[in-house]
């Protein structure tokens, strides 16, 4: 071989190498430029939701559906596992100062938004500065969890939260979805905004009946969703939801098919299967303290005593629930085990009403109340069962089923006398402050009944700054006793989470708080063809 031919070979090899590198680079750029349009059924998964999320903005997400969507589109500093325990998400670790008034959170270095930009400490700082700012025309309803946050500082890969005083619940509240810093202005995020999140999916399109999510191409290495597209179909009628499950338009539906249809699914629909597990959720009957009757604790106690919870659980919920004594379920560390189980005693209920001066009229009724609920079949059935129980003690109750948006608007605006809803997804006992403290009237919290007690406020504020678990438990035990005595809610039951899905869906797990975090590992099993 001549010298010149050897040089030619080297040049040829160099050219081939450059072509290969260019091809690999082009493939990498293409793979990161966005998810290709799913072309087959196996690349898509359809879910049926009964209600549309109320907001796409994580700063305003307080309803369950908005938070479920938030968990798919956005990452947060911390997250929760299947049982509801705190786990790191964007955070890699965290440390408290010796006096428990400063929390430094260290960030993972390789997390990106769906446009490819890295998530920075500045993005995190901008979000939480937005939440504690007093200058917004539309305050965030999640801001109440950060009322004790004084200031925020950051370095390149860490954010430090400086608190006015210790806050034992603070870490568990750092679950708000992170937005790029430029979005943390006055504007509220809508479906028209191309907001880039750092969750496993990104928003493709959204309207009143369908939300399409595509896999975030910049999601963490090795953790890309196995199914590239999610179709969240808003199907308000449960008969239609079940029909769509049967005909294949929907693959999965969670907690929104009536329990009385569960037996029929198990018996008659072999293409479907059911999963169940206990959940972090409490169904309650709430009272408006501005009502002339309901502001009397004797009336609230009588209503609670008149409700036959076990009958509702058996006949309406098909034994897929247990009676609730307080907001926390019995297996929670902070549950007060000294609480008496909920009683069913209509005779005592009538005696309380008589003692309070509410006597029966000629028609056998003492007074009238209205009871607002969503138009979901199960919720309406529960409301009518409770109305029947109350009628037996002389309280005529008018049940008003409403479309979800109108129902929530009336509840948040104080335009409901009684209503039933479900608190779901809570992990820390500071939920009692959010629901019952005087500082938590909307829009600053979830105290929609406007209940106020200086004694309870003091206990809840002390519990919030108490970091020793045993001392903290003693305070929350006291708070639960005060709530049981005052009855601002009639706690009804802790319902199970359950999912109806196509049998060819694998990898899905039910989370205690109802979130859909396991969708990232969900897959469609290949069909078995007949021989």
Pick the closest to residue 142 from 57, 52, 53 (CA basis): 57
At 340, list the tokens.
Answer: 């008496």
Boundaries of every domain in the chain: 53-183, 208-278+496-524, 281-495
For the domain with range 281-495, which CATH number is right: 3.40.50.2300, 2.30.40.10, 3.40.50.300, 3.10.105.10? 3.10.105.10
Instruction: Give the CATH architecture of domain 208-278+496-524.
Output: 3-Layer(aba) Sandwich (3.40)
Q: How confident is the model at residue 520 (pLDDT cuts 50, 70, 90)?
A: very high
Q: Is cis: bond before 239, omega within 30 of 0?
A: no
Pick the closest to residue 327 from 175, 479, 511 (CA basis): 479
Q: How confident is the model at residue 527 (pLDDT cuts 50, 70, 90)?
A: low
Q: Specify the pLDDT at position 28.
A: 42
Please determine whether the domains at 208-278+496-524 and 281-495 fall in the same fold group of CATH: no
pTM for this entry? 0.77
Q: Specify the pLDDT at position 102.
A: 96
Cα-based torsion angle of the residue sequence 316, 320, 324, 329 in order, rounded to the nearest 10 degrees: -160
- What pairs with residue 418 in β-bridges? 287, 371
Residue 58 confidence (pLDDT) above 50: yes
Tens digits of residue pLDDT in 105-137: 999 999 999 999 999 999 999 999 999 988 777
The answer to whether 74 and 178 have CB atoms below 8 angstroms apart is yes
Residue 442 confidence (pLDDT) above 90: no
Instruction: Give the CATH architecture of domain 53-183.
Output: Alpha-Beta Complex (3.90)
Alpha carbon distances (Å) from 368 to 80, 351, 358, 393, 394: 43, 18, 11, 12, 9
Q: What is the mean pLDDT of residues 250-261?
A: 90
Q: What is the mean pLDDT of residues 249-271?
A: 89
Q: Specify the pLDDT at position 38.
A: 55
**What interhelical angle do 469-486 and 297-306 show, nearest 10?**
90
Q: Specify the pLDDT at position 522.
A: 95
- Count of CB atoms situated within 10 Å of the CB of 225: 22
Q: Specify the pLDDT at position 24.
A: 43
Residue 191 confidence (pLDDT) above 80: no
**Residue scoring higher pLDDT (129 or 21):** 129
The answer to whether 206 and 56 have CB atoms below 8 angstroms apart is yes
Q: Specify the pLDDT at position 494.
A: 95
Please give the angle made by the CA atoms of 100, 102 and 105, to the nearest 5 degrees: 115
Please give the angle made by the CA atoms of 308, 314 and 318, to the nearest 5 degrees: 140
């Amino acid at each position: 071989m001549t010298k010149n031919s050897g040089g030619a070979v080297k040049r040829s090899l160099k050219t081939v190498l450059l072509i290969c590198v260019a091809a690999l680079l082009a493939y990498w750029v293409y793979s990161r430029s966005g998810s290709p349009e799913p072309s087959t059924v196996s690349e898509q998964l359809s879910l049926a939701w009964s209600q549309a999320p109320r907001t796409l903005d994580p700063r305003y997400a307080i309803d369950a559906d908005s938070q479920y969507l938030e968990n798919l589109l956005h990452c947060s500093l911390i997250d929760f596992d299947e049982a509801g325990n705190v786990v790191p998400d964007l955070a890699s670790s965290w440390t408290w100062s010796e006096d428990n008034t400063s929390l430094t959170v260290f960030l993972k270095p390789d997390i990106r938004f769906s446009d490819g930009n890295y998530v920075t400490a500045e993005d995190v700082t901008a979000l939480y500065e937005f939440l504690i700012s007093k200058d917004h025309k539309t305050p965030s309803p999640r801001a109440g969890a950060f009322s004790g946050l004084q200031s925020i500082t950051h370095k390149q890969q860490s954010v430090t939260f400086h608190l006015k005083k210790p806050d034992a619940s603070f870490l568990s509240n750092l679950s708000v979805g992170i937005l790029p810093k430029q979005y943390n202005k006055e504007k509220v995020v809508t479906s028209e905004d191309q907001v880039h999140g750092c969750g496993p999916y990104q928003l493709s399109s959204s309207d009143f009946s369908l939300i399409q999510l595509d896999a975030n191409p910049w999601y963490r290495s090795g953790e890309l969703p196995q199914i590239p597209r999610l179709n969240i179909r808003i199907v308000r009628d449960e008969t239609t939801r079940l029909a769509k499950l049967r005909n294949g338009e929907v693959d999965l539906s969670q907690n929104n098919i009536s329990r009385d249809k569960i037996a029929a699914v198990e018996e008659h629909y072999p293409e479907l299967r059911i999963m169940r597990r206990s959940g972090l959720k409490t169904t309650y009957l709430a009272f408006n303290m501005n009502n002339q009757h309901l502001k009397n604790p004797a009336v609230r106690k009588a209503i609670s005593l008149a409700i036959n919870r076990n009958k509702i659980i058996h006949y309406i919920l098909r034994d897929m629930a247990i009676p609730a004594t307080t907001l926390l379920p019995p297996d929670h560390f902070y549950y007060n085990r000294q609480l008496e189980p909920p009683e069913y005693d209509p005779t005592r209920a009538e005696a309380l009403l008589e003692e309070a001066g509410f006597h029966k009229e000629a028609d056998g009724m003492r007074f009238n109340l209205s009871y607002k609920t969503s138009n979901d079949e199960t919720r309406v059935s529960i409301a009518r069962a409770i109305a029947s129980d109350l009628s037996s003690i002389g309280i005529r109750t008018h049940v008003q089923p409403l479309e979800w948006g109108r129902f929530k608007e009336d509840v948040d605006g104080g335009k409901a006398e009684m209503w039933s809803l479900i608190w779901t997804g809570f992990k820390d006992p500071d939920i009692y402050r959010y629901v019952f403290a005087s500082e938590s009237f909307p829009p600053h919290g979830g105290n929609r009944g406007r209940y106020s007690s200086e004694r309870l406020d003091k206990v809840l504020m002390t519990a919030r700054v108490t970091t020793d678990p045993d001392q903290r438990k003693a305070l929350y035990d006291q708070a639960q006793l005060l709530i049981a005595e005052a009855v601002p809610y009639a706690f009804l039951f802790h319902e199970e989470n359950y999912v109806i899905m196509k049998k060819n869906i694998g990898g899905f797990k039910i989370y205690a708080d109802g979130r859909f975090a396991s969708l990232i590992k969900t897959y469609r099993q290949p069909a078995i063809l007949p021989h």
